[in-house]
Amino acid sequence: MQRIHHITRHLLLHTPLGQGLDAETIEQIALAAIMHDVGKIAITDSILNKPGALTAEEFEIMKRHTILGAELLQKIPQLHEHPAFAYAYDIARHHHERWDGRGYPDGLKGDEISLWAQIVSLADVYDALLSERCYKKPFSREKTLRMIKEKQCGIFNPRLLECFFAAEHDLYVFYA
């Protein structure tokens, strides 16, 4: 979760993506990024920790973590007062939306997806590819970048990709 925070923060501070956002807003967005997968606490361990590929039925259950996360955040009244709440809610719900509209849960397309949810989406993919998971070994940096470039992990905003690839050398230090 910390790496998602760091990647999000770095992209907003050190690329044109953060243009027009003040430092406090960037910090709130980065803080909110940590909560992107909060809905996974409602997903059974047998699905979360499955060593192999998920069945279609299991994947449908896993996809619900976006809605469940947003609902969970909504149910905590004290969070509503926090400046990061709106970002956290949006990111939890929309970090699996895709630029081409083929994501979930709402099928948002292009700029219908907030910039922060788009950034966290790419940060999440980058992190997942570079990190060991119960179902896979970490991919090399080269393979990770190739998979993102070749759209094997979804289609992202071209401007976001341009900024990501320009900054990736600085982002990779979070994995060294």
Per-residue model confidence as pLDDT tens digits over 88-117: 999 999 999 999 999 999 999 999 999 999
Task: Compute the distance between CA of residue 65 and CA of residue 70 in angstroms, rounded to an integer.
Answer: 8
Q: Are 85 and 31 in contact (CB under 8 A)?
A: no
Question: Dihedral sign, CA of 155, 159, 160, 163?
Answer: positive
List the domains of the chain with CATH numbers. 2-174 (1.10.3210.10)
**pTM of this prediction exceeds 0.85:** yes
Cα–chain-centroid distance for residue 86?
A: 16
- 58: buried, middle or exposed (CB in 10 Å: 19+, 13-18, 0-12)? middle
Q: Are 24 and 83 in contact (CB under 8 A)?
A: yes
Q: What is the pLDDT of residue 14?
A: 97
39-67 pLDDT, tens per residue? 999 999 999 999 888 999 999 999 999 99
Q: What is the pLDDT of residue 145?
A: 98
Q: What is the pLDDT of residue 134?
A: 80
5-32 pLDDT, tens per residue? 999 999 999 999 999 999 999 999 999 9
Q: Band the pLDDT of 69: cuts 50, 70, 90.
A: very high
Distances (CA, A) of 72 to 2, 47, 88, 108, 163: 20, 19, 11, 21, 32
User: Which value, in Å, is the radius of gyration of the alpha carbons in the chain?
Assistant: 16
Write out the two tokens for 48: 């979360």
**Which has the closest alpha carbon to 62: 73, 75, 52, 48?**
48
Give the HSE-up count for residue 162: Cα atoms under 13 Å, Cβ half-sphere: 5
